[in-house]
Structure 1
Amino acid sequence: MRITRSLLLFALALGGCAWDAPREAREGSLRADGALPPLDLGPGPDRGPPTPACADDVQTLFGEDGGWVGEGPVTREAPRLPVDCGASGRGAVFAFRSAEGGAWRFSSEGSSLVDTVVSLLAGCDANALLLACNDDTDRGTQAVLEATVQPGQLVYVVVSSFGGGEEGLARLAVTPVGAPLPGDPCDVDAPEACGAALACWWSDGARVPVCQAPRPRQVDERCAPDDRIGPCVDGALCLGEGAEARCVAGGGGCPPGVVAGDLEQFRQGEARWVVGSADVQSGGVLAACLSGEQRRHRIWRLLITQGGRYVFETRAPQRDRAVDTVLEVALVCGPGRALACDDDGGSSTFSRAELDLSAGMDVFVKVSAFGPGEVGAFSLVVTRQ
């Protein structure tokens, strides 16, 4: 393991204008837990949305108020930005803004790159001000940087490879300082133990589960059945209880007599899928939130190619008489493994569900009539936010 290198760059307040001050460098001292003490970035100006020079390259962070997680490619064709700490300047760029401000931890744990650097910038062009950077800590060659961000302050976070020789997938987890660190032991039966941006899984060869950035697990690997960011690759299912849960291939086939059509995008390139009008068909499906007889239904299959929050809604049809709908989103075409099921969460007697889904998942969208024997039509809209 190389000797730890941590370089923190910041602007000194001169004449009431901190951002015109010269940069200075200092060596960050590690805490007992291996992380850097928070660096106060100062109020700073709000430079607004990404500039055209990097607008197409900024990756989205997904999550809740408690934390965020995102991923993006690191290639030799990525735009070169003014980063430091031994990085090449080419990396995955993320935009981060906290309405409340406070001390935040930026971690690259979970990246496919062997050695990473995390840098914070005030902008995302070649002339952007470098606020801080970190190479690695005594926890390993992944980078951990802590900084105090002012309320509403927009910063850009770059995850790049040390030395610039690697290409791969960069992962960024943003968590409040004081939340569990990657590698901390956790309890898979308490999903909230690791916060919103980390998941509780077994690392390869580990004897206990630990907090780590979510990444899809391979078939036969241990997994967390209740993790909100689909834990298994290629539509595989996470089955079993506690320590016995494993990613199991298959399970997506429809029962005999049940047909699932592919849900196609509304327009090329749009994160929206629309079925203008569809009739419920013959029986064969019983939604997870219903009981009794099977209902008339329609089923679509949707391959998630980009992770994020998805909204599923039924609405009034473009024509024909509307039917009272029940909406279910599941990992299998047949019964079981429902991710969400709703009756009247939408407008009037229509249905609505929101889910965080990861790239590579294969989900089935099932719409059925509320009552046995009911007939009618509906419209289905799926949107990635």
Structure 2
Amino acid sequence: MAAQQPVSDLARKVGALLGQQLVAPICNPKRAPTGLDAALEKCCSKRFRNVWLDAGFQAWYAWFSVDIATQTATAQLPGSELREIASSLCSIRPHHTIQTLFEHLFYKSYRHPTRRRLLKQHSYSCPEPLSKDQSLPAPPASFGPSQMALTGIMMPTCRQPPLVNSNNNSNSNSNSNSNSNSNSNSNSNSNSNDDDDSGDEKFHINSNNNHDYQFVHFRQPGDQPNNLNNPPSNFGQPPEVRSCPEPKYLTSILPYHTSASVVKTGRGASIRIVSSVSTAQGHLELDIYSAQVPYIARELFGAIIQAEHGRLYLELDSGANASFESIRLSGAEHQAAQKVLGQLYSAVCNDAHFVQESERGETMTSYITLEVNGDVKDNSHLCVIGNASSMLQIAGQLWPGDI
């Protein structure tokens, strides 16, 4: 019998990131994530079987929830590793908010018959409904440790102008964050429908499509390269995930105007912070009201976005307006980031990847992105990538006394 081949480093990173989408809490489990139905229909209509749906909807949801760069990274893996990852995803018990979302999608929302019929027509399985005697843990006051980490992110190998990152792939979900999810599952708007039926595919615009991507893994000074046969002692340690701080603490890290731009849901603000000691990585995601997107986009990225007839439009140099379903802005100017993000920027600007950009003489950073949804009913998502230490520092200000 041939010896089992070791799992590749890329497969390990991708598998970890996908699995973490299932155990991280979401703020609104009774609303379908933007673009879910369009992506599901597209995957079902493919000529070849979808490896994630073959394993189960839970595996597909994890794939759908990561950003477009991670989805692209999965295409680099051989089929055997993809099937192994997909199978392992279905063995994870999701966070109770994710379980609630699955039940809402397939048994309670007004579109649930359409989704179930779609999967059945293509011989894919649906999630089982929650049994009446199945106990789900009550959500804590502030979401505590969970198994979610930013283990890697696809970034351009060469710096591009700060207009808009390009992505015209067939994938219909982009995060931040994703992740977002850039596409973030915590997209909340009190005026939105209970279920999303947009069904429109997202796309990205750019004046230059010649990008070579690499999988970047941020490290702290002194970190040793990963060794699959001899992983670090803290490898696998659950990262810290916190969501929805009290709005009154936002001004401790953000200027007043920016803190007012963050979506508020109930008694919490739509913010999620992820930090992992074992990978020395972290990121912060903020949901932004669509009415505040023109200000954030102009100040951070120099992009002119206008609202008209319920849509957001990107103004081009020619004076024409470009409509879109979703675009991702990247390349925030450092001085503008200090003005717009305040103490949040001060906490991350000394992280290694920001310092490396400064040492290369770059005046803009790739590690601050804004994913803008074209429909004014949908919130947009601002993502800042940092190290675990800076994310914990920020979390200490948003959840004083808890850290």
TM-score by length of 1: 0.25
Higher helix fraction (1 or 2):
2
TM-score by length of 2: 0.24
Larger radius of gyration: 1
Structure number with the higher strand fraction is 1
